[in-house]
Amino acid sequence: MKRSYSEYSAKEDFLWLILRPWIFIPRVLYILLTFIFLFLRILFQGNSKNKNVQKNLSKYLFDVITDLGPCFIKLGQALSTRPDLVRQDWLTELTNLQDNLPAFDHKIALKIIEEELGSPANELFEEFPDSPIASASLGQVYKAKLNNSYLAVKVQRPNLYFLIRKDVVILRFLGTFLSPLLPLNIGVGIGEIIDEFGKALFDEIDYQKEAENALRFANLFKENPNIFIPKLEKQFSSKRVITTSWIDGVKLRDRFLLEKNNLIPASFIKTCVISGLQQLFEFGYFHADPHPGNMFALKGGNADCGNLAYVDFGMMDTITNSDRLTLIKAIVHIINEEYYLLAEDFQKLGFLTKEQDLQKLVEPLKEVLGGSFGAEVGNFNLKNVTDKFSKLMYSYPFRVPSRFALIIRAVVSQEGLALRLDPEFKILKIAYPYIAKKLLTDNSDEILDILLEVVFDKKGQIQIEKVESLLNILFKDSENINSDLIPAANAGLKLFVSKKGSEVRKNLLLSLIKDEKLEFTDAKKLLTLIRDTFNPLNIAKSAVQNIISTV
């Protein structure tokens, strides 16, 4: 069976390029020499305190990445979202990689539109500009007008399939060849990770797939008043041209720009993170390229949750139901400091081999995660943990499963975006309560099983400390208790009296029996905890806050 034009195949694409040494050898040498010169310049000038030196160096870095082409621009975009990894003066320049790249010839764009849509742009639209409003790694966007409404017309860069096919092969070749020399230990992952990157890029240059992705993503968020997805204009879309409604918003790249437009940065951070968690833990389908050029702050919303628009649905990915539930379990095990069970989760996810002695990893995991989680959720910093994890991965047989490459990229990009808007932002300050709320309000069989693991130990006894920890995470110092308390109370009550709650009722009864005697101590503690958390005063206060917030 013949593969489609834009489908990635590591073996076939490598064979295609290796049979063309006049393309392969010069390109490999050019990339290697470019990075050697870049490394030497950073080595000698990177620590300079001279502002002009740093300004020139950041411009040189931008020029190097743009000159190397779309594959490297995509990698640079990931760096452009990390203010904790990249100097601020370099970051300012790298931000241009998101949607401020040199445009390609306007005449070529017009020719592509005519070839793809069957008519010239000036016949298809009432107004079509003479230049693009934005230019990114794979295409450039025009603001056209039709029926008194504005549309975003994205036109793909010429010769893109050849450029990406060539460079993905070379990246895989260099990555595999040089990986033993790098201070990393990602097991067999580097070639497989580049394969995932290649597949995602090949999908991204097929705008028909992007159109399908946009429709699917919009359907998932159709009930969410804070998330907006531009409307697809099918009659003006094809394999190399995609047209959507125009989004009139502010890019999430600068807190001062948001404040200048009377928008509250923190509100958009929360919407961004919660929508990302929904994609990962509820939908199993997520936007894998959430950089500031693809996300816009819109007017409306409120101080707690701002209105957010997503654009560009070329790089999307899925997570299996099994992996999704294991990740939720892993977060619960981190909360409860159950490091052996966490090691089991890593094993199920493929970060550890089945032969690995998990007991040996308990102390190292505790050392890496123990000081960053638990009661000090607000002090969590992903970079600190990933730095420690890098050392752990080098010392122990951790590997990065290729299917997690885009998930990690999306999470890291999203946290980086939030850090740009708020340097003090801690992702788990939002993520922890979200997981706690999901455990307490989602009555699916799978989530119920996880909740039972938290409430009862293997002997069926109530784990008061863990229940208290779960409730504290959700309600202690909550900034939005009015939206958390009542749903959790309602869901808990419904669960307890439902058929699904039979397991909960049975375990509660069994927990009263200790050494063949009735023991009410733990039950009293649980009732006291529930009474204190869900007391009428709190619920009344929550109800009033709900009414006020809707007025």
Handedness of CA 269, 270, 274, 277 (dihedral sign): positive
Would you say 342 and 334 are in contact if contact means Cβ atoms under 8 Å apart?
yes
Residue 423, judged by CB atoms within 10 A of its CB (0-12, 13-18, 19+), counts as exposed
Would you say 287 and 310 are in contact if contact means Cβ atoms under 8 Å apart?
yes
Dihedrals phi, psi of 243, to nearest 5 degrees: -125, 135
Cα(415)–Cα(382) distance, integer angstroms: 8
Cα(335)–Cα(374) distance, integer angstroms: 5
The pairing of beta strand 307-310 with beta strand 227-228: parallel
The residues carrying an active-site annotation are 289
Cα(312)–Cα(293) distance, integer angstroms: 9
Dihedrals phi, psi of 412, to nearest 5 degrees: -65, -40
| CA of residue 452 relative to chain centroid, distance | 28
Facing residues of 318 across strands?
A: 285
Question: Got the DSSP string for 405-441?
Answer: HHHHHHHHHHHHHHHHH-TT--THHHHHHHHHHHHHH
DSSP 361: G
Residues in the chain: 551
